């Protein structure tokens, strides 16, 4: 057995070294390489489409639906998978397009709704502003009407007795003049002998002069007070603004006479159409503000002039002035620099609204420690402007 194996081994080695064995080995290697290549190619043909489909699916997951899924045919499983993926891409793209269209429609609807709401808000704001101005106007009208009734009652109560005093004083004055003339004419010697009689006549003359001056002053105050309120002139009137300023100065004379000098620089200003009682209220507010800004003695200067077909009225004082940070808020309702208990902060706000209703302007300039200046600019044709606005509306 051992010898047989040795013999077989020698024959196999001799076979391996023979040319035939070499040829067989080469053929085997060629066949093995070809098989390996066929297998690799087959795997590549199967794997690469799968990888492409995987990459395309990842892109679709990221929302990249514009590029179609390339098909490798419908005859194999990969082709059917490719076709199914393409159908899914198309369906997703249609759904996305529908969703985008719905979103665009919703966005346009929201924009329209937002625009409508903004328009409604503007209309509501304008209506509220008109209502507020109408309410302010009504409050002012009611206030002025109440003042008018009070003024009418006071004027009546004062005029009746002061008229009687004035009338009886005139009668008494003329009677005393006749009596004095009769005594001087009929008893000239007695007049010379009694100096006390001359002194009595002198005292009577002085008393008559005081009484006359007092009654005239009271009657003038009542007249100015009625003119200031102008309750019978709630409509537009053509008036001289200087009369309104003078009426206001008479009304607050008791507050100005002790420590404030009023300088009046009136220009050549023609009568203008306005609401007289409202302008008088503005004059009163500005003069009171100027008076309160002057701590000790000071000067209030009133200047009027005509420029660019508009009436300019300037009130300036040498008071404490307004801090720079407060100038921009001076016309805000409720804002005041006077402190608690001095002012309500409504006077300048009301004045601003009155001037605005007159289609005019009111401006303020101030320097702390040197004084303040208010400038009112009014049109001369307010009635014509209001008529144009009414026609336009």
Instruction: State whether CATH 1.10.8.500 applies to domain 23-121.
Output: yes
**pTM for the predicted model, two decimal places:** 0.51
Is pLDDT above 70 for 208? yes
| CB of 279 closer than 8 Å to CB of 269 | no
| Distance separating alpha carbons of residues 149 and 336, to the nearest angstrom | 30
> Which range in 51-60, 154-163, 187-196, 290-299 is most confidently predicted, on average pLDDT?
290-299
Query: How far is residue 236's CA from residue 250's CA, in Å, rounded to a whole number?
Result: 24
Maximum mean pLDDT: which of 82-96, 164-178, 224-238, 309-323:
309-323
d(CA 347, CA 350): 5
Give CA separation, 242 vs 150, 199, 312, in Å. Answer: 24, 44, 12
Number of H helices and number of E strands within the chain?
Answer: 11, 7
**pLDDT band at residue 311 using 50, 70 and 90 as cut-offs:** very high
CA–CA distance from 185 to each of 178, 181, 188, 191 (Å)? 10, 6, 6, 10
Q: What is the pLDDT of residues 240-270, one digit of tens each?
A: 999 889 888 887 888 888 888 999 999 999 9
Q: Residues 176-198: pLDDT tens digits?
A: 777 777 776 766 666 566 666 67
Question: Structural domain boundaries of the chain?
Answer: 23-121, 147-229, 235-393
Give yes or no on whether 23-121 and 235-393 have one common fold: no
Q: Which fold has domain 235-393?
A: Heat Shock Protein 90 (3.30.565)
Residues 116-128 pLDDT 10s:
888 888 888 888 8
Q: State the pLDDT at residue 162.
A: 75
Structure tokens at 243: 């009369």
Most trustworthy range by pLDDT among 69-73, 179-183, 278-282: 278-282
What angle (nearest 5°) sits at the alpha carbon of residue 123, between those of residues 120 and 124? 85
Q: What confidence tier does 20 reach under pLDDT thresholds 50, 70, 90?
A: low
């Amino acid at each position: 057995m051992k010898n047989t194996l040795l013999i077989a081994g020698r024959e196999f080695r001799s076979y391996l070294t023979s040319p035939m064995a070499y040829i067989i080995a080469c053929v085997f290697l060629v066949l093995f390489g070809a098989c390996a290549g066929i297998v690799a190619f087959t795997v590549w043909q199967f794997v690469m489409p799968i990888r492409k489909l995987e990459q395309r699916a990842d892109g679709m997951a990221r929302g990249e639906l514009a590029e179609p899924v390339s098909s490798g045919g419908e005859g194999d499983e990969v082709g059917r998978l490719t076709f199914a993926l393409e159908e899914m891409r198309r369906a997703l793209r249609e759904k996305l397009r529908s969703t985008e269209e719905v979103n665009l429609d919703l966005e346009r609807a929201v924009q329209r709704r937002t625009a409508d709401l903004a328009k409604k808000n503007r209309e509501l704001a304008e209506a509220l502003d008109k209502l507020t101005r109408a309410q302010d106007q009504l409050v002012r009208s009611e206030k002025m009407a109440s003042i008018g009734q009070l003024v009418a009652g006071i004027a009546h109560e004062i005029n009746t007795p002061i008229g009687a005093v004035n009338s009886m004083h005139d009668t008494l004055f003329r009677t005393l003049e006749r009596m004095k003339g009769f005594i001087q004419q009929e008893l000239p010697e007695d007049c010379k002998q009694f100096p006390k009689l001359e002194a009595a006549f002198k005292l009577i003359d002085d008393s008559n002069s005081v009484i006359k001056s007092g009654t005239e002053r009271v009657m003038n105050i009542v007249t100015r007070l009625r003119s200031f309120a102008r309750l019978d002139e709630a409509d537009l009137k053509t008036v001289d603004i200087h009369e309104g300023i003078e009426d206001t100065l008479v009304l607050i004379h008791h507050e100005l006479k002790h420590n404030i000098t009023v300088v009046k620089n009136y220009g050549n200003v023609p009568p203008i159409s306005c609401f007289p009682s409202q302008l008088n209220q503005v004059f009163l507010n500005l003069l009171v503000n100027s008076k309160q800004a002057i701590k000790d003695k000071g000067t209030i200067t009133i200047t009027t002039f005509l420029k660019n077909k508009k009436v300019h009225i300037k009130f300036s004082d040498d008071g404490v002035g307004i801090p720079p940070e407060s100038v921009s808020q001076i016309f805000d309702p409720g804002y005041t620099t006077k402190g608690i208990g001095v002012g309500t902060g409504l006077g300048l706000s009301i004045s601003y609204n009155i001037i605005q209703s007159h289609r005019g302007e009111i401006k303020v300039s101030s320097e702390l420690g040197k004084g303040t200046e208010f400038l009112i600019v009014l049109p001369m044709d307010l009635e014509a402007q209001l008529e144009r606005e009414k026609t336009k509306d």
